[in-house]
Chain A
Amino acid sequence: MSRFGVKEGGEARKPLPYITNYSQGFWEGTKAGELRIQKCNACSHKQWIPKAACEECGSIDLSWIKSGGKGKVYSYSIIRHVVMNSMAFEKEIPYALALIDLDDGVRVVGQVVECKPEDVKIGMEVEAFFEDIGGASIFKFRPRR
């Protein structure tokens, strides 16, 4: 693979994450159709992105909880060009990328699809679903029905 995610003589592929011991639970979750976030067993803080410690109290005693996957758009952008990422995204352009505040109290970033990108608004209610990108599954969002 070249640095732009283009397979020699083939189609561009989506970039894949490195799966570490502390993030494994999340990636197992997306495969099983669950959006898992970390909860601290010491102070009950919930956090995203997965980390090896609680960002609130420093405890290393963390567990996974299943998020309802529902939230509201905190902000959004319409992506018009591939910049510093795989050309595999070119066939999805234009698409809406958004910061989503989940009802569980954490902010995640992901694509909002199944609507026109222009229809995405701040405050819009969305829900997560999962998509296999070949080697891992990611979450995307769609308008809540």
Chain B
Amino acid sequence: MTLRGKAAIVSYGETPVTRARKDKGEPRLSYWEYFAWATSLALKKAGMTTKDLDGQGLAVMHPEVDHSLFLGVEVAEMLGVTSKWIITPSHGGASGCVGLAQAALAVSSGIVDRVLCVIGDAPMTYGDTMMLTEHRRDFEKPFGVMGPTSLFALVMRRHMEQYGTKVEHTGKIAVTQREHAVLNPDAVFKERFTMEDYLNSRMIAEPIRLLDTVMRVNGGSAFIVTKTEEAKRWTDKPVYLLGYGECNNYHHGSKALSDATLMGIGQASREALSMAGLEPRDMNFFQPYDDFTIAVLMQIEAAGFCEVGKGGKFIEETDLSYRGSIPLNTGGGQISAGQPGLAGGNLNLVEGVRQLRGEGEGRQIQGAKAGMVTGIGAVQYGRNVGYNSVAVLGSEL
């Protein structure tokens, strides 16, 4: 059983994102409103109505804010849809890619013909209200751990020591993604910055600077997956799932003393590429989940664009812009476009779809035919990471 070419993304919808600043008169919406808004945008783009979702599949991804346990069916209830098949990916930042794969499984096995995959999240409205992991509450916070920022700082320092990676390497990722955000009308940050600005930006958890991190926003995102046979009924530009791989609770070597510079993205991407019958050099873009620049650098290595430990040198020598040999997070990524809570896990996936449909506007990659997107979720300390998920997408079968 392979998922290669069995399913297609036929539509997507993304709401504008917002910091929900009361002093600027920006509304503070609930996550429900983002679920509803993103759905309506995706349906409209496909020329569908909610009637087309009756008897079909619904993938409701969990937001990061405190939410209803029965969210899946409550979203169906809100939309007035009687679903045949509801899945509720709860894989943190990996839920976008995981939802895509689970939707592809549902349509390729004939359970349903199409699946709406949707998430809305509103950390600016609700704040940090959800207990993400018990180990974070019990064995990290009391010990002075400052969430994922400090955990990735520990990983970054180790990577620097082990391989000679420099802050200028993560700096180039930050600068390049910002250049892309300038070309993305939907991005929250549109001011260019230089390497010098990057190096001068405020330290949060050394060696991580402010410009290595994400800004949280409210937002929602949806995409619609159909079986390949009906894809062209909804769009003349289907984007096919060519390969998929997942590797969860990754460790390398002893479980108690794992090499923190390695990621489960390695195994997941090898499986995804093998299913697609493609190599890293065949990828016209790389849209990795980006909560921190070091996570991007490590995924460049893990996904096989270069050897592990050589990511710094590779970045130095490679044009990562949308015109370059391996365009990186061409919408600016979460780091520059904003992280709409866990809807951020869809952000780079949707950007990949946009590129393959030729809808990248001022940042369109010429001749983009295939590319890789990733999702990662649940950061443990000293291991990378909980959920690792990789999808290879293509505009041709």
Return the contact of B157 from the options A77, A105, A110 (Cβ within 8 A).
A77
The chain A residue with its CB closest to the CB of B149 is A83
Return the contact of A18 from the options B134, B146, B204, B254 (Cβ within 8 A).
B134
Q: Is B342 at the interface (CB under 8 A from chain A)?
A: no
The docked-state distance in angstroms from the alpha carbon of A99 to that of B162 is 15
Q: Is the CB of B145 within 8 A of A109?
A: yes
Q: Is A46 at the interface (CB under 8 A from chain B)?
A: yes
Q: Is B79 at the interface (CB under 8 A from chain A)?
A: no
For A95, A97, A98, the residue with the greatest tally of chain B CB atoms inside 10 Å of its CB is: A97
The chain A residue with its CB closest to the CB of B129 is A3
Q: Is A133 at the interface (CB under 8 A from chain B)?
A: yes
The docked-state distance in angstroms from the alpha carbon of A50 to that of B139 is 9
Q: Is the CB of B142 within 8 A of A83?
A: no
Q: In the complex, what residues of A have CB within 8 A of residue B134's CB?
A: 18
The count of A-to-B residue pairs whose CB atoms sit within 8 angstroms is: 130
Q: Is the CB of A107 within 8 A of B257?
A: yes
Q: Is A81 at the interface (CB under 8 A from chain B)?
A: yes
Q: Is B128 at the interface (CB under 8 A from chain A)?
A: yes
Q: Is the CB of B205 within 8 A of A85?
A: no
Q: Is the CB of A97 within 8 A of B144?
A: yes
Q: In the complex, what residues of A have CB within 8 A of residue B207's CB?
A: 77
- Tally of A interface residues using CB under 8 Å: 47
Q: In the complex, what residues of A have CB within 8 A of residue B140's CB?
A: 109
Q: In the complex, what residues of A have CB within 8 A of residue B203's CB?
A: 78, 80
Q: Is B198 at the interface (CB under 8 A from chain A)?
A: no
Q: Is the CB of B382 within 8 A of A15?
A: no
The docked-state distance in angstroms from the alpha carbon of A42 to that of B153 is 36
* Interface residues of B, dominant DSSP: mixed
Return the contact of B205 from the options A3, A79, A101 (Cβ within 8 A).
A79
Q: Is A14 at the interface (CB under 8 A from chain B)?
A: yes
A138-B204 contact given A49-B135, A75-B161, A101-B257, CB 8 Å threshold: no
Q: Is A74 at the interface (CB under 8 A from chain B)?
A: yes
Q: Is the CB of B139 within 8 A of A85?
A: no
The chain A residue with its CB closest to the CB of B144 is A111
The docked-state distance in angstroms from the alpha carbon of A83 to that of B205 is 9
Using an 8 Å CB-CB cutoff, how does the interface string of A1-32 with B read, 1 for contact, 0 for none? 00100000000001111110001000000000
Q: In the complex, what residues of B have CB within 8 A of residue A55's CB?
A: 255-256
List B185-217 residues whose CB lies under 8 Å from chain A. Answer: 202-208
Q: Is B50 at the interface (CB under 8 A from chain A)?
A: no
The docked-state distance in angstroms from the alpha carbon of A84 to that of B203 is 16
Q: In the complex, what residues of A have CB within 8 A of residue B146's CB?
A: 79, 81-85, 89, 97
Q: Is B324 at the interface (CB under 8 A from chain A)?
A: no
Q: Is the CB of A15 within 8 A of B154?
A: no
Q: Is B164 at the interface (CB under 8 A from chain A)?
A: no
Q: In the complex, what residues of A have CB within 8 A of residue B260's CB?
A: 74-75, 99
Q: In the complex, what residues of B have CB within 8 A of residue A76's CB?
A: 154, 157
Smallest CB–CB gap between A61 and chain B, Å?
Answer: 17
Q: Is the CB of B382 within 8 A of A138?
A: no
Using an 8 Å CB-CB cutoff, how does the interface string of B255-273 with A read, 1 for contact, 0 for none? 1111010000000000000
List B126-172 residues whose CB lies under 8 Å from chain A. Answer: 127-129, 134-135, 137-150, 153-155, 157-158, 161
The chain B residue with its CB closest to the CB of A104 is B256
The docked-state distance in angstroms from the alpha carbon of A122 to that of B255 is 20
Q: In the complex, what residues of B have CB within 8 A of residue A98's CB?
A: 154
The chain B residue with its CB closest to the CB of A117 is B206
The docked-state distance in angstroms from the alpha carbon of A69 to that of B89 is 40
Q: Is B31 at the interface (CB under 8 A from chain A)?
A: no
The docked-state distance in angstroms from the alpha carbon of A136 to that of B157 is 30
Beyond contacts A84-B147, A99-B158: 20 other A-B pairs, Cβ-Cβ < 8 A, are A14-B142, A17-B137, A18-B137, A18-B138, A23-B138, A49-B135, A74-B158, A78-B203, A78-B206, A83-B204, A85-B144, A97-B146, A97-B150, A98-B154, A105-B254, A105-B257, A106-B257, A107-B382, A109-B381, A138-B143
Can you report 14 residue pairs joining A to B where beta carbons are below 8 Å apart? A15-B141, A75-B155, A75-B161, A75-B260, A76-B157, A77-B157, A77-B206, A78-B203, A79-B146, A79-B205, A81-B202, A85-B147, A97-B154, A99-B260
A residues neighboring B (CB under 8 Å): 3, 14-19, 23, 45-50, 55-56, 74-86, 89, 92, 95, 97-99, 101, 105-107, 109-111, 122, 133, 136, 138-139
